[in-house]
Amino acid sequence: MEQNQSYLATEKVSKLMGKYAVPCIISLLVGALYNIVDQIFIANASYLGSYGNAANTVVFPLTVIALAIAVMIGDGCCAFVSLNLGKGNKKAAENSIGLSVLMTVISSIFLCAVYLIFSTPIITLFGGTVNKETFELSKEYFFYISLGIPFYMFGQAMNPIIRADGSPKFAMVSTLLGAILNIIFDPVFIFWFHWGMMGAAVATVIGQIATAVISLIYILHTKSVKLSKRDFYWNKEIVRRTLSLGICSFLSQISLVAAMAAINNMISKYGAQDPVFGQQIYAQIPMAVVGIVMKVFQIVISIVIGMAAGCIPVVGYNMGAKLHERVKKLFSLLLIYEATVGLIALLIVEFLPSQLIGIFGSANESIYYTEFAVKAFRIYLCMIVFACLNKATFIFLQAMGKAVASTVLSMIREIIFGVGFAMVLPLFFGLDGVLYSMPVSDILTAIISAVIIAATYKQLSYKCDSRI
């Protein structure tokens, strides 16, 4: 049964934001929990500890590569569908969904094959050779995670498409089901069966399969659109437009991978020069700790992205319907909420870093583990408020159909600043330079974002006035 989405143009924007953003936030938080739950259980298993944590850190960016491709397809389709439903062009929306399913399946199988064939050089590239123990655990974890890549990508790509179809709660439930299964099986496989890194990975893959299956069931029974065989036929223009709208999401994730690769390698290089971490027995600690800090940051940024991405169907529909005043009001609300989330996160990482690292098995580690973790939390995330506002700006511009501006801004943050400062600052500050790279990047990006935000408000105001 098809569903009319005209209420997106009439209902109060704050209510729409809650309806779409909250399920999206929960979906992304649950998705983030896949990896962080693994790390918590791994850290508290005495036979894995910081070696297992370091291995998890090595593999994490490789899962982000899969996520980058999935969200490019899914977010691009979500924006395309919303814009075209706003214009009343349902045929193009249906074709975009069909082609997105096809692109996800093909790309996920290809990536899985690449990971399985080239696992050793890939792990080496991402800093897995910090010591022998970390390398072996990384290979074990990566093998099983790679087997689940097609299911992971399908679930992640379909999630925003399901939201665009007007079912944000279903999208949330599909991800939640997978996370619950992961949480159930992680302790069973790690502590009871003693399967180690394999157990953590298998638990994750089981959850991903569940999410993929329930997402497929929905795609076969969409509400606002009705798919047919012709929607899976190749249409070059729709593929181009869909991917162009999702390219910001891709670059945002893939540039994060580049930054993590640079950070992991700088940690390995300058950690070896540190009087404490230069010792083999402690060599894995900086990588394990920075990985944990990134995971905590991922929890915060999942909330931020969830709020912004949840607005994509609303923004896209209202832009398509030329209701610019509503778009402007939604942007204002979003920035206020994002800043609030960032401020709460800042207070937690600055005043409770010992409690945070305690969740990740610090009781089983040396004092150097806790000391470095406290410093890492306080330095690396000290500008997290700006990070939240930056991310919201990237996604909102994408939702407005401004793919080029969104992409350029994202690339400046993640590649020029993120990778650049991660490579340069350690030359002057050693291992601490890696930690300084994050706040410096966020401050400079915030300055550029402020200019773009002002220009966006001015443009929306002009369009509103021109309609009077």
426-460 residue pLDDT tens: 999 999 999 999 999 999 999 999 998 888 888 87
Q: Which residue has the tokens 């679930």?
A: 155
Q: Give the pLDDT confidence score for residue 464 in this predicted structure.
A: 58
Check: CB of residue 398 under 8 Å from CB of residue 75.
Answer: yes
CB atoms within 10 A of CB 312: 28
Report the predicted TM-score, pTM, of the whole model to 2 decimal places. 0.79
Q: Give the pLDDT confidence score for residue 450 in this predicted structure.
A: 92
C-alpha distances out from residue 223 to 2, 143, 170, 226, 369, Å: 5, 38, 12, 7, 51
Q: Which residues of the chain have pLDDT under 50?
A: 1-2, 468
Sign of CA dihedral 329, 331, 333, 336: negative
Q: Which two tokens stand for residue 371?
A: 């000391």
Residue 177 one-letter amino acid:
L
Instruction: In whole angstroms, give the CA distance from residue 118 to residue 326.
Output: 49
Instruction: In whole angstroms, give the CA distance from residue 119 to residue 468.
Output: 60
- CA angle at residue 403 from 397 to 408, to 5 degrees? 90
Q: Which two tokens stand for residue 74?
A: 């899914």
Check: CB of residue 152 under 8 Å from CB of residue 63.
Answer: yes
Where helices occur in 272-323 by DSSP H, the ranges are 285-310, 312-320
Check: CB of residue 159 under 8 Å from CB of residue 101.
Answer: no
Phi, psi of 226 (to 5 degrees): -130, 115
Instruction: In whole angstroms, give the CA distance from residue 138 to residue 127.
Output: 10
CB atoms within 10 A of CB 348: 17
Q: Give the pLDDT confidence score for residue 146 in this predicted structure.
A: 98
Q: Which residue has the tokens 């912004």?
A: 308
Q: Give the pLDDT confidence score for residue 422 in this predicted structure.
A: 93
